[in-house]
Structure 1
Amino acid sequence: MRLLVAMLFASAAAPAVAQDHSGHTMPSAQSPVQTECEKEAARHRAMGHPVEDGACAPATQPAPGGHADGHTGRDHSQMGGMDHSTMDHSKMEGMDHSTMSHESIQLPEQTPMDHGAMGHGGMDMTPIPEGPPPASAGSGPPRAADAIWGADAMHASRNALSTENGGMNVFWFQGDRAEYRAREGGDGYLWDVQGYYGGDLDKFWFKSEGEGTFGESPESAEVQGLWSHAIGPWWDLQAGVRQDLTGPERTHAVIGVQGLAPYMFEVDAAAFLSNKGDLTASIEAELDQRITQRLILQPRAELSLSAQDVPELGVGAGLDTVELGVRLRYEIAREFAPYIGIEQEWKLGRSADYARLAGEDPSVTNYVVGIRFWF
């Protein structure tokens, strides 16, 4: 539509240049601009757009500022404003131009954009100040809504807000390692599970870990029940009881920390004091390295220490055992991921001597296949 208006205006505004052939008899001819205008007018008539007859005819009077030497221009004085009042936009299958009025067209002169007329006159362009809120922001009563809705109604509302934003209790359980271990001297198994029930700050945390050789009694097995309290955004302080289920049964008091160290290392460190006075400790750390969104490589390390020799448990003073391993898991779903890996165990110092006396190898390589899951 704008193209038609522009071409009509161009054809009208372009002066028709004619030479004085008064002494000759010549057939009438149209200028190239006028011919192009007629083509455009015919095309729009074929589209159903009403176009005024003679719209492309040269004007009889020169336009304001015209020349007296025979150059003429179109008269734009009779061109009114474009009438959009009859334009039909109700059908979206195609724009209906049949009722669009082109009887009078006027191109207004370009004027500076008036933002006041566009409703922008009241726009405040003052930059937002940086800094703390004014003192008056906290000057009102702390529980002003009580005066409107009542203290009882607002008390229930505040409790619901606290519960829905972190005060709710959550149950979580994870099988961190449930694996088959292929090794020299007899294949074995291992389990390492943990979970909790509670809120953001306080939880009841439970853990169980053990391993053994198929066809034999478990070499080690334990369960822990701990109270866990958040001491920061990334760390929990844990305290409770550990019960050994194999060998000389012992009960231990437990205190430790569990959380996320810098560079995304998951750390679980605890000290144990048994009912026999034995003081031991363990430190576990693992790191998830994502290869893809589902394929994860997990290096893992575990250290066991003892403050004294415990011959009946085969534990020597100092650094007792070291375990280093790596596992590659594939998350079929976030909650279920099979894995394969390799882990090397070493008994050190007096612990290695106790192992040799018992006919065991102080160094063992395990090839593992397992499942990690949580819910």
Structure 2
Amino acid sequence: MEARDLDIGTQFAWDLSAWYGGDIDKLYFATEGDYLTGAGEDNGTERAETRIAWSRAFAPFWDWQLGARRDWKPDHPNRDWGSIGVQGLAPYRFEMDATLFIGEAGLSQLRLAAEYELLFTQRLILTPRLEANAYGKEDTRNGIGTGLTTLEGGLRLRYEIRRRFAPYIGVNWERQYGDTADFSRAAGEDIQTTSLVAGIRAWY
């Protein structure tokens, strides 16, 4: 859970995941989204995403996943997707995640994400992260174009008070591209945001 300082208000973002199973097979669940406050009539949940998947190891430190996802956004149609992807630890200890989503009416999305942990000490850790999203078909009802739609990058510095509990601070940057950016401009929305963030990372 983290707070982001935006020009229009404070955005609270959540990113939660859980799994059940063993070393080979797991049932994986994840949810993420944004909630805006301090923006008057625009207060509320901006978007939410929920995923469930079966994950199976196929090599040391690598799993493939087969599952489903639902997107929710106020005043926009919900979207349901099937998904197939891989995630794992690449050379030089980069954590990689590549997922292809197939949706209704021929919609498709490719999501690529990578992050790395740089240890200053055993407790003080810097995590750079980059995520790219691309769509194969225009979704005008949700303001999404074809090709590369968004890039998001971040730097977060955490201090592990305990192994399972760490507050952090950082910066997050996001930009839209192509027709997606044009849709946002037409709606009077920013196509690029940079925000200071603070949050808590915990696992059980």
**SS of the residue 1:276 aligns to:** helix
Residue aligning to 2:198: 369
Residue aligning to 1:184: 7
1:214 aligns with 2:37: yes
Contact 1:230 1:236 in 2 (8 A): yes
1:269 offset after TM fit, Å?
Answer: 1.4
Structure 2 counterparts to residues 43-192 of structure 1, below 5 A: 178-192=1-15
Give the distance between the partners of 1:245 and 1:324, measured in 2 at CA.
Answer: 23
**SS of the residue 1:190 aligns to:** strand
Structure 1 residues without counterparts, runs of 5 or longer: 1-177
1:245 offset after TM fit, Å?
Answer: 2.8
Deviation per CA, 1:36-67: give whole Å up to 9, x if none: xxxxxxxxxxxxxxxxxxxxxxxxxxxxxxxx
The residue identity in structure 1 corresponding to 2:186 is: L
Choose from 356, 361, 365 the match for 2:185.
356
Give the distance between the partners of 2:61 and 2:145, measured in 1 at CA.
Answer: 33
More helix as a share of residues: 1
Give the distance between the partners of 2:45 and 2:135, measured in 1 at CA.
Answer: 22
The residue identity in structure 2 corresponding to 1:238 is: Q
Structure 2 counterparts to residues 289-368 of structure 1, below 5 A: 289-368=118-197
Contact 1:250 1:276 in 2 (8 A): no
Give the distance between the partners of 2:3 and 2:31, measured in 1 at CA.
Answer: 17
Choose from 201, 208, 229 the match for 2:24.
201
Deviation per CA, 1:62-82: give whole Å up to 9, x if none: xxxxxxxxxxxxxxxxxxxxx
Give the distance between the partners of 1:276 and 1:185, measured in 2 at CA.
Answer: 34
Give the distance between the partners of 1:249 and 1:277, measured in 2 at CA.
Answer: 15
The residue identity in structure 1 corresponding to 2:64 is: L
Residue aligning to 2:91: 262
Contact 2:134 2:148 in 1 (8 A): yes
Structure 2 residues without counterparts, runs of 5 or longer: none
Contact 2:106 2:137 in 1 (8 A): no
Give the distance between the partners of 1:325 and 1:281, measured in 2 at CA.
Answer: 20
1:212 offset after TM fit, Å?
Answer: 3.0
CA RMSD, aligned part only? 1.1
**SS of the residue 1:354 aligns to:** helix
1:230 aligns with 2:53: no
**SS of the residue 1:355 aligns to:** helix
Give the distance between the partners of 1:261 and 1:220, measured in 2 at CA.
Answer: 30
1:221 offset after TM fit, Å?
Answer: 0.5
TM-score normalized by the length of structure 2 = 0.94
TM-score normalized by the length of structure 1 = 0.52
Moved over 6 A (4+): none
1:258 offset after TM fit, Å?
Answer: 1.1
Identity among equivalent positions (%) equals 46
The 10-residue stretch of structure 1 (187-196 or 324-333) with the greater mean CA deviation from structure 2: 187-196
Residue aligning to 2:70: 243
Give the distance between the partners of 1:267 and 1:244, measured in 2 at CA.
Answer: 22
Deviation per CA, 1:66-122: give whole Å up to 9, x if none: xxxxxxxxxxxxxxxxxxxxxxxxxxxxxxxxxxxxxxxxxxxxxxxxxxxxxxxxx
Contact 1:270 1:281 in 2 (8 A): yes
**SS of the residue 2:9 aligns to:** coil
Contact 1:265 1:287 in 2 (8 A): yes
Quick check: which has more Rg, 1 or 2?
1
Q: How many residues align?
A: 198
